């Protein structure tokens, strides 16, 4: 490491992972593997059902299909490598792989922020202006929202990549984390990262805040509308639709804000890693469960698809 003074391209980074204890590593491996399998099955299932069942060809399920795709992707960007590292003693990740992982992670995370805001807006129109719903949430407008979300994700990732490409790594190549996240990689740089940190903070902060404000405004309007509904069953129905969304949003933003919107000097291995495990490994599994298991429409669609399969099988 001493001979590599001021060499921008450290050939490999070492990911420290979550723990040194081999027993705990094995337990985590089993746990994360189980979570990953549920994530893949749950999200692939959601994509398939919303595609196969015609009654689910509505804007809400169009967004949910993309949410499942994003969750499946960003879980796949992080979990398999983490699983591999939990089993091996040499936890190397190449320079290229590290920055690829980081770019995809930022791209998918930022896209999900704006997808969640699109979903909140969709619920707002459905509950607050139900008569205009088919007009406002046309297929074309939904596609524009999705496209916009991906574009913003790409721009965020591109800016992040530009900033990161200007770093020089010289002394240490040990990343104190289980995946290549911006904060722990910034901590390794031997160039002054102050300007880059401010830039990344502005980009990440504006992404989180703009999408969070959209979500908050939508849900405040929704709640005030729900409170005006006189029938109890109507109140229950409207509230149950939104409760699941709010739960998903709360966990996602809670852990994201806890991790990113604070100075990197206060980066602590234990707490931050637990928060990261949440939004990188656990949340992609929770989303299909939160959005579909509490949802009669998805259950009915599943039954219809299965019956169709049985019918054509006979």
Tens of pLDDT, residue by residue over 251-293, are 888 888 777 766 555 555 566 777 788 878 888 998 888 877 6
Distance between CA atoms of residues 306 and 182, nearest Å: 44
Q: What is the dihedral of CA 295, 116, 184, 200, to 10 degrees?
A: 180
The mean pLDDT value of the chain amounts to: 85
Q: Are β-strands 12-15 and 174-175 bridged in parallel, bridged antiparallel, or unpaired?
A: parallel
The closest of 33, 60, 64 to 46, measured between CA atoms, is 64
The closest of 22, 24, 37, 18 to 80, measured between CA atoms, is 37
CB distance 218 to 142 below 8 Å? no
CATH topology assigned to domain 13-311:
Rhopdopsin 7-helix transmembrane proteins (1.20.1070)
CB distance 214 to 120 below 8 Å? yes
Residue 132 DSSP label: G
Render pLDDT for 173-227 as a digit per residue (tens, 0 to 9): 888 888 998 888 888 888 888 888 888 889 988 998 999 999 999 999 998 888 8
Instruction: Please say if the pLDDT value at position 10 is more than 60.
Output: no
Q: What is the pLDDT of residue 261?
A: 67
Which alpha helices (H) appear in 167-282, and where do they start and end?
A: 182-186, 194-228, 232-260, 269-277
pLDDT band, very low/low/confident/very high, at 161 (cuts 50, 70, 90): very high
CA angle 90, 96, 102 (to 5 degrees): 90
pLDDT band, very low/low/confident/very high, at 131 (cuts 50, 70, 90): very high
Instruction: Please say if the pLDDT value at position 155 is more than 80.
Output: yes
Q: What is the pLDDT of residue 185?
A: 87
Query: Higher-confidence residue: 48 or 279?
Result: 48
Q: Where are the domains of the chain?
A: 13-311
Instruction: Please say if the pLDDT value at position 4 is more than 50.
Output: no
Residue-by-residue DSSP string for 5-68: TT-S--SEEEE--S-S-HHHHHHHHHHHHHHHHHHHHHHHHHHHHHHH-GGG-SHHHHHHHHHH
Instruction: Please say if the pLDDT value at position 5 is more than 50.
Output: no
Lowest average pLDDT, out of 102-116, 228-242, 258-272, goes to: 258-272
Residue 292 DSSP label: I
């Amino acid at each position: 490491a001493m001979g590599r003074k001021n060499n921008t391209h450290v050939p490999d980074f070492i990911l420290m992972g979550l723990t040194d204890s081999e027993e705990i590593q094995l337990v985590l491996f089993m746990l994360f593997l189980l979570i990953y399998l549920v994530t893949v099955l749950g999200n692939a299932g959601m994509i398939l059902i919303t595609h196969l069942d015609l009654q689910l060809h509505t804007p809400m399920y169009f967004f949910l299909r993309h949410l499942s795709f994003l969750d499946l992707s960003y879980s796949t960007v992080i979990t398999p490598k983490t699983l591999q590292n939990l089993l091996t003693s040499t936890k190397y990740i190449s320079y290229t792989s590290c920055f690829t992982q980081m770019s995809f992670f930022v791209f998918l995370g930022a896209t999900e922020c704006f997808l969640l805001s699109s979903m909140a807006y969709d619920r707002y129109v459905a509950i607050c202006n139900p008569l205009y719903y088919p007009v406002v949430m046309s297929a074309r407008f939904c596609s524009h929202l999705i496209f916009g979300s991906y574009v913003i994700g790409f721009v965020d990732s591109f800016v992040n990549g530009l900033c990161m490409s200007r770093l020089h790594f010289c002394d240490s190549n040990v990343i104190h984390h289980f995946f290549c996240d911006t904060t722990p990689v910034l901590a390794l740089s031997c160039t002054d990262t102050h300007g880059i940190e401010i830039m990344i903070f502005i980009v990440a902060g504006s992404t989180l805040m703009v999408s969070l404000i959209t979500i908050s405004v939508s849900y405040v309007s929704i709640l005030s509308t729900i409170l005006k509904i006189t029938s109890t069953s109507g109140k229950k129905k409207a509230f149950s639709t939104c409760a699941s969304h709010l739960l998903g949003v709360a966990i996602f933003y809670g852990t994201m804000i806890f991790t990113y919107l604070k100075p990197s000097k206060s980066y602590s291995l234990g707490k931050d890693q637990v928060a990261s495990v949440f939004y990188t490994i656990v949340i992609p599994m929770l989303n299909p469960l939160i959005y579909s298991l509490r949802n009669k429409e998805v259950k009915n669609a599943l039954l219809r698809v299965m019956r169709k399969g049985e019918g054509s099988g006979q």
